[in-house]
Amino acid sequence: MADTHQPFIVGIGGTTRTGSTSERALQLVLAEAQRAGASVELLSGHAIDLPMYSPGDPGRCGKANALISALRRANGVVIASPGYHGSVSGLIKNALDYVEDMRGDSLPYLEGRAIGLIACAAGWQASGTTLAALRSIVHALRGWPTPLGVAINSIRQTFNEDGTAVETNVADQLGLLAQQVVEFARQRAKL
């Protein structure tokens, strides 16, 4: 019997540069999630280029409200960050800081949501430390990181111009990541 629950998966990531490795990886995961039956929303680049998060200022711009609205509806989230100096980029960290606005929700922060993580950096060390930082952030936000986190060494060409992965192992890992997020979201819906 096929599972008919259609989870809603939000992708957050990339850089302000269109077509970055992290944005392409995120797009590939969301496309795989759609093939698995999920509905998806991509929030990358300029969509998450938000004013610096200020907890004492209750005013929010339209982009910040759109981010929080999408996350409140999300059954799962995929976060893709470039590795800047061995950690998460300021763009991604600032977007995640806005999750603080969800602290009083019935599902506070990212509680009960599967979170797929992707780290892209020019070298394995930086991609590994960035992935570890993302896991720590997600744990602090009460999310459930998937068993697989994908580290991509962007020193080599990772994606073709059409957005397909150059190496099959990268495509396979991103596909598995999508599968884990969608399956977890479906299992949570049964509870």
Domain boundaries, the chain: 13-190
Q: What is the pTM of this model?
A: 0.94
Residue 1: the pLDDT is 38
Task: Supply the CATH classification number for the domain 13-190.
Answer: 3.40.50.360
Main-chain dihedrals φ then ψ at residue 9, nearest 5 degrees: -115, 130
> Could you state, in chain order, the average pLDDT of each consecutive group of 10 residues for the chain (191 residues)?
77 93 95 97 96 91 97 98 95 98 97 97 94 97 97 86 84 97 91 67
Question: What is the rounded distance in angstroms from the CA atom of residue 121 to the CA atom of residue 22?
Answer: 9
Q: What is the DSSP letter of 165?
A: B
The phi, psi pair for 20, rounded to 5°, reads -65, 160
